[in-house]
Structure 1
Amino acid sequence: MDFYFNEFENRTPPEPVKHSHFRELLYQYLATCNLTLGIWYLVWRWGFALNYDAMWFSLPLAFAESCAFIGSLLFVFNLWKTKDEPKRPVPSSIGECVNDPTEDRPLCIDVLFPTYDEEPELVKLSIRDALKIRYPHEIEMKIFILDDGKRPEMAKLAQEMGVEYITRENNEGYKAGNLRNALEQTYGDFIVICDADTRPFPSILENTLGYFRDPDVAWVQTPQWFFDLPAGERLPVWLKRRLGRPFSWLGRLLEKFYGPITLGRDPFVNDPQMFYDVIQRRRNWANASFCCGAGSIHRREAVMEAALRSYSHQISQEHDAIERQIRKLTKEKYVDKDISSGLKQEIILDTEFTPYKFHVSEDIYTSIILHGDTERNWRSVQHTEVESKMLSPQDLQSWTVQRFKYSGGSIDIFMNDNPLLKKGMSFKQKIMYAASFWSNLSAIWNVIFLACPIIYFLTSIAPVSAYDTTFYLHFLPFVLTAELAMMVGTWGISGYQGKSNFLSFFPVNMRALWTVLRGKKISFPTTPKDRQQGVFLHLVIPQIAVFVLSLFSMGFAWVAYGTGSFGDYSLGGLILNSFWTLNNMMAMWGMIASAFWSPSTDKGEGLDYGIE
């Protein structure tokens, strides 16, 4: 079968950004200045710059600015420093990876490929690459296809390729249940978790198992790399193809001033380098990088041990809760021992033992359980080099499904089983997890940031006491140092596209939040691995509404100001809100354009957005 990504097979992953001690110190200096100026701005904002004549407008914006500042504070903590785990020689036996050095035998590795409805031909590519995994010492490695689809063709594939095949009668727990079922039937010391489309490199074990020489290392997460991201098309080529050769000179002229301009490159902002090479990597210093599923290597002992403790704790909690209800009803101080013992037995029978939590975000849930284990100081490691390749969502519908699961899963954990309120984690770890949870609540204040300039343009009512010199003296230093700190802190990785995507993400984020608040479960649909055909305008109606309202309101306000026909605008207010609006519109435009995006049908001509 001919897959669309065949033409990208020879691509190589990006190198991790080299750490610079000087750049790190500069970032820490700029970030400290920014946070200090942020506190100064917010104190002034709440104390002296509220518009008391329009508190309905002024208070929400001050609230949004405060929430965004908390996010900035958490983000600075996350990015504070880089502490890469030093590489160690690969172990030659299990005795080098455990506290009992007397045990001496080759390592046993299980490579697991959970699958549900992915095409056998796609899984075949992943198995083919897994069979090429090398190791410098004797090792027992088994590869398993975990088929929740119960498909004869997948069983036949496993037989043809000489790998193991595991299925089950039901799909309880979805991927987490699939993994649990596999753990009950396998015995590897270490488990490599892959998605159906994960193509491991031959070096994945020899570059990661050395970390497990430390018996406290529970898992290692490797960066995910989407090798099929659209390469895009340079502006001069795009102009030549669309408008003719003379216009290509215009494109070259623009690039001389602005630098290379590429259209159609990663239209869904799927590139995960910002997440893995910056956010996750910087969490190593706090032992807080979390598992992201595909491309991770787990110590079986850690997963099972932490799961047993969690299981015991869950049973104890339920038992204590029922006993409290009984004592309340009977007015007795104690529950009869025989009754208490019988209750515990019933709870044990009714409670599933789940090494991987039955949850849409089972990967981060497992991380929380391990990091919060009060009896073992389990550690996690974010490996710096890419050790596998996988497929990205190739249309807006697939992207939306994936992001809804990510956001909803995190919000559900935060709302219903918040690890920040439990014992076990260190303060640094809790702050890192708080940063992840807080970012998924950002749609609440992002909606306010999108609405405020529109309201100002349509009413001429300012959310601050005045757009005067005092305002700019407080606001501009805060904003400029934030941009400088972000630029230095993420040096070597493009950050603007990610920030824009974060803002335009608000409808999916709000839907996920509303789903959790209503007590509904986040669904477990698999992310499609094939391009879904069509134009997905229905998915970007909120972004279109923001874009149109922003453009109309800005034009209305400038006309009204020029003619003096409406309102009481100030020139400073119009300029500031115009820049604000243009930033919002650019963020919305990226998401709107992705609804139209489709790859070029002519190979070699590049890719474009499909619209003008």
Structure 2
Amino acid sequence: MMKLSNLLLFVLPVIISVIFTYFTYVNLLTVWIAFGVWLSMVVGFFIFINYYSVSKRSKKYYMPLAGKIQNYRIASFVTSFNEDPKIVESTLISVKNVTQKYGKVFLLDDSTNEEIRKELENFCKKNDIIYFHRENRKGFKAGAINEALKKIEDSFDLVAIFDADQRPLEGFFEQVIPYFSDPKVALVQIPQNYTETYTKIAQGAKYQQEPFLRIIMRGRSGYSAFSLGSGSVFRISALKDVGYFAEYSITEDAATSIKLNEKGYKTVYADVGLIWYGEPPEDLSAYLTQQSRWSFGYFQLLGEMLKSNLSFSQFFDYFSGFLYWVKEGPITILEFISPIIFLSLRIPIVKINPILYVLLYIPYLIITIVLFSFSVKEKGEYGLKGFYYHQVVEYLEFYAITLSFISWIFRRKIPFKVTPKGVVSRNFKLIIPHLIFIILLSLSDILGIIWYLTSTSIILKAAIIVNIFWSTYQIPFLLGGILASRTYNIEKPKYTEIVSK
């Protein structure tokens, strides 16, 4: 049954934005932009409140120094779909090295490329690895995991899941197993590690993950942490209790975590570097494919969240993720459009004293930036460079996320796509929306300056300055994204095969 408190939290950002819009809109032609402006600020505030909450919780985060190694039987699943066999084989060897004392390694290969399939099957036979292959891809990754689990569930206690490019370090299970001494722990998640950052896009993707992995997931540990799809170790009986993995979502990891949380199971995040290899998206096409899949999957989760029996705080944690994707997609486009309309066409969007706006909003903006900066100050790898790269890749994704949002609204299905690895390409079409907005924002700035110089009203001048500020603020990040997507000046070392027979 839907909880009233969670339903209220869901509608609150919209209600608040509608109220503000009602009292400040100028005309019916631009009322939707006015609503978007207010929704941007309100959603941003909700996201900030949640971030502040989890960052406070993250300060209490700790990891036990030692624990009892129980005699669990472990099945390690490596999932693959038309991946480079050399990458998969290296991962299988790493997984086998950490698993052999506890159980068996399984390759769940959904590859449709017959050449890849045969090579991986032969490799598994030679290395005592169990090979699973399906003729259909029902449920995609979740379906493959569920089919394998139903075949082996009585033989194993825990299942570990690794993507084809995520390789565990020696001692992986020695640090993970002790958490399961608590019978309510259903999941232990190890952070992913992007090491192959040989392009600007790859670097940006890594920096984008840092606040999430180092702060948000720490703050959600034991409460609302969720599986990241790889480096996840589940209690099989808990998965069985919630009906296995959710096959209806392309982000089956998060959907399954919600089902575990609402059943009262604990989901633990162990922030320790136990993954030594990971390939982030290397070019814009791969990055947008990844972000499109993640955002669409999270949009799909909304119904699951609303129907769930999650506590208010757990719901807020998950719901803030939904708000994040909405803000990075359609709301970002409205943030572009608003100053363009005002400065270029001289059409007012909202009726509000710009000086009052500056006095109220700027302190809030400064506070959020300062608090965010303090929360990540101990993360030496992040810093100012990390913040810039983080913003750059987020400005690159608005178009892809908006398309995912539209597909979700109209109940269209998008095909499951594995993030491409190992191949770097350029596709000019992908940056056309960004180029268009750079041109429009720059033109708006010029027209705004001319308007400012010819205006005699102090209030109007203040309004022009505010809009020029927001228009100009976005240009460096859009431009940085375009440059990052076109620049591959970091030489990637030649791949060295580490597979040993």
Give distance in 1, aligned partners of 2:86 and 2:330: 42
- What is the match of residue 68 of structure 2? 91
Q: 1:268 to 1:222 in 2, by over 3 A?
A: closer
Q: Hey, what does 1:365 align to over in structure 2?
A: 255
Please tell me whether residue 580 in structure 1 is matched to residue 470 in structure 2.
Answer: yes
Q: CA offset at residue 419 of structure 1? A: 2.1
Aligned residue in 2 for 1:403: 291
Answer with 359-368 or 470-479: which moved more.
470-479
Q: 1:115 aligns with which of 58, 70, 80?
A: 80
1:421–1:601 CA distance, 2 compared to 1 (3 A): closer
Alignment partner of 1:580: what SS?
helix
Q: CA deviation at 1:551?
A: 0.7
RMSD across aligned positions (CA): 3.1
8 A contact 2:208–2:389 mirrored in 1: no
Aligned match of 2:320: 435
Match of 2:498 in 1: none
Of 97, 104, 125, 1:159 maps to 125
Counterpart residue number, 1:303: 239
Q: Using the alignment, how far apart are the partners of 2:287 and 2:450 within structure 1?
A: 39
2:331 alignment partner, one of 445, 449, 456: 445
Q: 2:231, 2:397 → 1: CA distance?
A: 26
1:205 paired residue among 173, 182, 189: 173
Distance 1:117 1:54 in 2: 49
Among candidates 150, 171, 174, match of residue 140 of structure 2: 174
Distance 1:168 1:468, change over 3 A: closer
The reply to whether residue 69 of structure 1 matches residue 45 of structure 2 is: yes
SS in 1 for 2:313: helix
Q: Is the 8 A contact 1:460 1:568 kept in 2?
A: no
Residues of 2 paired with 1:213 and 1:590: CA distance?
A: 48
Deviation at 1:530, TM superposition (A): 1.8
Q: CA distance change for structure 1 residues 110 and 63 in 2, over 3 Å: closer, same or farther?
A: closer
Residues 177-186 or 289-298, more deviating: 177-186
From 588, 592, 595, the equivalent of 2:485 is 595
Counterpart of 2:331 in structure 1: which amino acid?
W
Structure 2 residue identity aligned to 1:386: G
Residue 566 of structure 1: how far off its partner (Å): 12
What is the SS of the residue equivalent to 2:250?
Answer: coil
| SS of equivalent to 2:488 | coil
* AA of the residue aligned to 1:471: Y
Residues 505-520 of structure 1 aligned to structure 2 (within 5 Å): 505-520=397-412
**Structure number having the greater helix percentage:** 2
Structure 1 pair 231–402 and aligned structure 2 pair: CA distance change class (3 A):
closer
Deviation at 1:496, TM superposition (A): 4.4
SS in 2 for 1:479: helix
* Residue identity opposite 2:404 in structure 1: A
1:124 has 2:12 as partner: no
Among 284, 290, 305, the residue aligned to 2:221: 284
CA 1:269/1:550 → structure 2, altered by over 3 Å: closer, same or farther?
A: farther
Q: How much does 1:85 deviate?
A: 4.8
Q: Are 1:551 and 2:442 an aligned pair?
A: yes
Superposed CA offset, 1:42-84 (max 9, x none):
9997698665799635454234322332333333333332232
Q: Where do 5+ consecutive residues of structure 2 fail to align?
A: 1-12, 495-501
| Larger radius of gyration between Structure 1 and Structure 2 | 1
Distance 1:84 1:471, change over 3 A: closer
Quick one: structure 1 residues 65 and 227, their matched pair in 2 at CA, closer, same or farther if it must change by over 3 Å? same
Asked whether the 8 Å contact 1:225–1:271 carries over to 2, the reply is no
Task: Tell me if the contact between 2:325 and 2:401 (Cα under 8 Å) persists in the aligned partners.
Answer: yes
Alignment partners' CA distance in 1, 2:137 and 2:409: 26
Equivalent of 1:216, from 184, 189, 202? 184
Distance 1:583 1:451, change over 3 A: same
Query: Which sits farther off after the overlay, 462-471 or 443-452?
Result: 462-471
Cα distance in 1 for partners of 2:268, 2:318 equals 15
Q: Does residue 457 of structure 1 match 2:343?
A: yes
Structure 1 pair 43–81 and aligned structure 2 pair: CA distance change class (3 A): farther
Separation in structure 2 between the aligned mates of residue 120 and residue 509 of structure 1, nearest angstrom: 31
Displacement of 1:461:
3.8
Cα offset, 1:216, TM superposition: 0.6
Please list the CA deviations of residues 483-525 of structure 1 after superposition, one character each: whole Å capped at 9, or x if unmatched.
1122122323344433443344221111001111221123211
Distance 1:508 1:539 in 2: 9
Q: Show structure 1 runs of 5+ residues with no match.
A: 1-37, 94-105, 233-263, 308-353, 605-612
Quick one: distance in 2 between partners of 1:571 and 1:501?
A: 33
Q: C-alpha separation between the residues in 2 aligned to 1:456 and 1:549?
A: 12
Q: Deviations over 1:144-171 (max 9, x none)?
A: 1112226221111112223222223322
Q: Kindly provide the CA deviation profile for residues 5-33 of structure 1, in whole angstroms up to 9, marking residues without a partner as x.
A: xxxxxxxxxxxxxxxxxxxxxxxxxxxxx
1:172 is paired with a residue whose SS is coil
Residue aligning to 2:419: 527
Question: Percent same amino acid at aligned positions?
Answer: 22
Q: Distance in 2 between matches of 1:52 and 1:122?
A: 58
Are the counterparts in 2 of residues 459 and 567 from structure 1 also a CA contact under 8 Å? no
| Separation of aligned partners in 2, 1:266 and 1:549 | 28
Question: 1:120: how far off?
Answer: 1.6
Distance (whole Å) between structure 1 residues aligned to residue 387 and residue 457 of structure 2 = 38
User: Matched residue of 2:76: which SS?
Assistant: strand
Look up the equivalent residue of 1:125 and give its one-letter code: S
Aligned partner (choices 357, 379, 382) of residue 266 of structure 2: 379
Q: Alignment partner of 1:298: what SS?
A: strand
Partner Cα distance (1:179, 1:44) in 2: 47
Residue equivalent to 1:391: 279
Query: Alpha-carbon deviation of 1:458?
Result: 0.8
Alpha-carbon distance between aligned partners in 1 of 2:265 and 2:354, rounded to the nearest angstrom = 54
